[in-house]
Amino acid sequence: MEQNPEILAARAKLAAKLADSRMGGKGTQRRKVKAKTSAPVGVADDKKLSGQYKKMGLSQIAGIEEVNMFTDKNEVIHFKDPKVHGSLQSNTYAISGPNEKKSLQEMLPKVLSQLGSENLNSLRKVMEQAHSSMAAGNDIPDLDTNFEEVSKQDNDVEVD
């Protein structure tokens, strides 16, 4: 088989270029940074949290489907299927899991039985403000134009 002299020259040039570099074996430099093989971040955080919960004397409370926390701004922090840890002796609870901030009006039918006296007073104020704004918006202005004349004028206009 005859080889093209250009190909042979390119191969010789490439072999000369790569002669000094090796991927491994005797005489090669060691890695400076060891590859880290660690667990995902969430797993490590959960282990740290569970260790802290044990130090505080908190134990997991099972069977809680949802948790609603009410704020001063008439918002509800809603946890669905949370992990709840608590200590009844020290009245300490830790709630973790995915949560959503919702307005009190969005959660109203469900959380009405959970509202305290402060939340009921603030809800009453919000409802009175909404009612007063609705009553002010129900004023119907008098119309000065005749609708039949306007509709006849619109029919006279040609559409391209």
Backbone dihedral angles phi then psi of residue 80, each to the nearest 5 degrees: -110, 130
Look up the pTM and report it. Answer: 0.48
**What domains can be seen in the chain, in order of their start residue?**
42-134 (2.20.70.30)
Residue 155 CB neighbour total at 10 angstroms: 8
Residue 79 CB neighbour total at 10 angstroms: 19
3-state SS string for the chain = CCCCHHHHHHHHHHHHHHCCCCCCCCCCCCCCCCCCCCCCHHHHHHHHHHHHHHHHCCEEECCCCEEEEECCCCEEEEEECCEEEEECCCCEEEEECCEEEEECCCCHHHHHHHCCHHHHHHHHHHHHHHHHHHHHHCCCCCCCCCHHHHHHHHHHCCCC
pLDDT at res. 106 = 77
pLDDT at res. 39 = 60
Place of tokens 């009921």: 120
Tokens of residue 57, six digits: 């004397």
Of residues 109, 100, 63, the one with CA closest to residue 80: 100
Q: Which amino acid is at 74?
A: N
Q: How far apart are CA 143 and CA 139, in angstroms?
A: 12
pLDDT tens over the chain, length 160 residues: 567 889 899 988 888 887 766 667 777 777 777 777 666 666 777 788 888 888 888 888 888 888 888 887 878 888 888 989 998 888 888 888 888 998 877 777 677 767 777 777 777 777 777 777 666 555 555 566 676 776 776 665 555 5
